Amino acid sequence: MSIHYSHILLATDLLDDAGAVADKAKYLADLDQAKLSAIHVVESLPLYFGNELVLPETQEIERQLVARGEKRMAEMCERLGIAASAGHVELGVTKQTIIDFAEHEGVDLIVIGSHSRRGLAHLLGSTARGVVNSAKCDVLAVRVETD
């Protein structure tokens, strides 16, 4: 049985090691002549610190993180040879934002990097594990080596 994908979503943290995961997503999209989209999620910052609201500073930090993400996303889209409009930077809870985006856009494969974790980080879980366990479509977790 042959499985072909029509819309692949690259979920990326846009870090230096994201290139290998992006290359894998591009390869699979080319193989199936599928649409390739990319998403980077900037985690929402808490609005409260203790009992004090820190809204103005929080909004500025989030704005800067989104702007930096948009710049890096544009660079990644150019490197992959996909339209800049196929790259998305969203503000939210990473796992849920990826899953919601995939469902809304009709994605049938999510490609995401998976870092090897040990000890406490492994027990606490990861974004990749959350996406694998919750997505309604196929998910490919690409191992990313950590030093």
Q: State the fold for domain 7-16+31-144.
A: Rossmann fold (3.40.50)
**Residue-wise over 11-22: b if at least 16 C-beta within 10 A, else e?**
bbbbeeebeebb
Type and span of the H or E element at 90: strand 87-92
1-43 pLDDT, tens per residue?
A: 458 999 999 999 998 778 899 999 999 999 999 999 999 999 8
Beta strands in 24-66 (DSSP E): 35-43, 48-49, 52-53
66-120 pLDDT, tens per residue?
A: 999 999 999 999 999 999 999 999 999 999 999 999 999 999 999 999 876 555 4
